[in-house]
Structure 1
C-alpha cells in the first residue's frame, strides 16, 4: 500500500511535468497492478488494466463515491420533475371571470371612455372658439 502511494505521488508529479509540456489530456503510468490514468484537465485518477486486449479503467474509490452521490441527486431531480409533470393542474391557477364580472368591467370601461370623449370634445370646442385678446 505504501509503495502504491509512493508510485502514485511520483506519477502525479511526472504527469504535472508532462501536462506543462503540452501532452495530451490523459497521462498514464504503469503500476504493479496495472496502469494509473490521470486526466490532466480534471485531476481525476482511474485505475486501468488490460482485459482481453482492451484497456478497462475504473474510478478510484473517492471518485466513485462522488459519482454515485451526483447520480443519486440527479435521479431525485428527475423523479421530482416527473411527479410535477404528472400531477393534476395547479390548484393555485387563477379562475376565469364570470359573465357578470365581465359585464361590470365593460360597463365601467364604457363610462370611463364616455367621460374621456366628453373631455376631448370640450378641448375641441375651446380650440374652435376665437381667442379674445
Structure 2
C-alpha cells in the first residue's frame, strides 16, 4: 500500500506545481463586461465573459479585428497607391540617372589616374636614378 501512496502523492505535487505555474502565467483584470486576461509570457490579451458559470475567452485581436479591419484595409489601399505612383515616377529616371552616375564615376576615375600619373612623373624628376630590382 505504501508503494501506491508515494507515486500518487508525487503526482499530486507535480500537478499542483503545473497549476501554480499556469496561474502565474496569466493575469485577470475585471472590466464592465467581464475580464481581460493577459498572458505574461507572450503578451497576448484575451477578453473573457462569464457564460453559464464558465469563463469563455476570445483573443483581443479577434475582438478588435471587426472594428479596425475597414480602416486598416483603407490605409493599405492608400499605401499601395502611393507605392505604385512612386514606382511609375521613378521608372523613367532610373535609366537616365544610372547613366549619369556611370559617367560621373568615369570622370572621377579619369581625374584620379591623371593626378596619380602627375605624382609619378614628379617623383621620376626628383629621383632620376632607377630603383633597385628587389625581386
Normalised-by-shorter TM-score class = 0.3 to 0.5
* TM-score when normalising by structure 2: 0.37
* TM-score when normalising by structure 1: 0.38
Q: Which has the higher helix share?
A: 2
